[in-house]
Structure 1
Amino acid sequence: MNILVTGGAGYIGSHTCVELLNAGHRVVVFDNFCNSHPESLKRVATITGKSVDLVEGDIRNGHQIEQALRDFKCEAVIHFAGLKAVGESVQLPLKYYDNNVVGTVRLLEAMQATGVKTLVFSSSATVYGDPQYLPLNEEHPLSASNAYGRSKIMIEDMLRDLFRAQPDWKISLLRYFNPVGAHASGLIGEDPDGIPNNLMPFVAQVAVGKRDQLNIWGGDYATPDGTGVRDFIHVVDLAHGHLKALEQMQQAQCLAVNLGTGIGYSVLDVVKAYEKASGKPVPYVIAARRPGDIASCYAEPALAASRLNWTAKLGLDDMCADSWRWQSQNPNGFKA
């Protein structure tokens, strides 16, 4: 199958490109490199022995997307292209609505114009907001406390409306929990710009000596050790989930599915596992809670098992070991 992967040079996108290429698909990456690096695609080629086709363009440019879909005779789209920093979205909401929501409208218009009606969308567990119950299943009410999460809900609503109007579409809404880790080769991994927004890349930078210590935001939550609990999922498991979603879409649908492990690990669990994987200390201080943070969040992954024939296979030790291999071999990310 010829597949257009928007944002394919990014963290999750590049790992998904590896799995798509290994499964025999032709991959066309559409990316403007605003928060990714072209080097990742060279390394995807090194890992797989196959190259991706690249179109450098902006998701908000419908003409560019339509041209790419036509030129490469694409049959499906996996849509990763989007801004994802929660804190930044609070400060710059219009930037997030423009890029994420308007960009998706342009993509869908281009797909409609070219008759491409198979889409896997990169959603997020942030659409559940503050959990009313745990584990979180797909029936949980949707809400969000920031522009990033709201942009994901808006896009999900838009896709459900599109499916109601045109029920011949095949749409999967994949709600990720907390992607971490890296490819086992150490060639591709998470490469944040500036100060990392997420826990594991920050821990990795402390372990490798780029940062002095980790600030743990809150040590008094109602959790086993007082620190926040999250469902961390290995990025390679996540990439396999996209492949499974494509393979299972044999009939028209608009299906939301959690991609998580169903296991909650605390911040201190991650610190200890990372110290074990790296053999390095990870100094930390307990700081005050951040506004908007929640105590616990983890998935009920049963629907992914039944509908996508997918379950996460890699545990926290694998996540930390692979993250450390990437970080230690690439202390400056792709920029080196």
Structure 2
Amino acid sequence: MNLNTLTLTNYKNFEFQVFDFDVKINCFVGANGIGKTNALDAIYHLAFGKSYFNPIAIQNINHNADYFVVDGRLTKNERDEKIIVSLKRGQKKIIKRNNKAYDKFSEHIGFIPLVIISPADRDLIIEGSDTRRKFIDSVISQSDKSYLAQLINYNKVLSQRNALLKYFALNNTFNADTLAVYNDQLSAYGSEIFKKRDAFLQTFIPIFKSRYEVISQSKEAIDLKYKSDLFNADLIDLLKQNINKDKALQYTSVGTHKDDLVFLIDDFPIKKFGSQGQQKSFLIALKLAQFDFIKQQSGVAPILLLDDIFDKLDENRVAQIIRLVDDEHFGQIFISDTHAERTEEVIKQTHQSYKMFKL
């Protein structure tokens, strides 16, 4: 898969910009605040219909404009494809493939397999479980449409159950039969989500460990642990057991929406006991494992976005990452960096074709 051209109109700080890309490595270089990360985010937008860095869609429109358009021309399985993502103030976002609008954005997810590695990934370590669940969900969803549908349905039923619990509290009432309907639905979707997350992580964790081993040259022992209420009991039983607690809290306290991933280094939480370099290596290994998994599932090498990748890594670890990238296993790669000379010097070591875009 290759992204051939990207045209940005009123997207963030770009009023109008056209990029023609190399099939292998593309580097956006320039001072901070010039738009390097925005260019990468536009590519992410093509794949997921949203920004990686700013979930408030309207804030991705240039300050002086009423709309933005991200237009990508790509080649996939030897076919030319056109993806356009556009948003006008006061209107709904539109995603089109070959001039035909999608009815549901979820239908587009996975069409452009993509992995981003960014300093913003540190949220996976420092933020709450919600961020780590989103990571698991985004990896599985790119290759499993039924999982995405189950997730959407689960979240819909969860909202309805929570609204019912609030209604009970406000009106000092309770109806076990109505609640049972939501329990059954939540349990059906949640059980499938749990099974798929568990199966995914059993495949994913060994890939992740082998990636980290190469980056760190086997200096530390790392691990990922999947934490879920559903290891202890079926969701339907957990919902019944926790009904008094849920009524008091006015929301659903158990289920797959409480799942988490525990990140460990030498058996201790990496958040507290990992250095900045170790944490960055951990996150890069996590994302490279995501790349491997998606490629394994889809048979297509995802586009790889490397945002500010060389920051906070010693030369040894940078060299290891570049050796990984200098591999036919990888497809098209997009890099952002503040130092044009450093980037070009590192890229030349790969003996791959490349283009530099000085912003």
- Common topology (TM > 0.5): no
- The structure with higher relative contact order (CA 8 Å, sep 6+) is 2
Which TM-score tier does this pair reach, normalised by the shorter chain? Answer: 0.3 to 0.5
Which structure has the highest helix share of the two?
Answer: 2
Higher strand share: 2
* TM-score, L = length of structure 1: 0.33
TM-score normalized by the length of structure 2 = 0.31
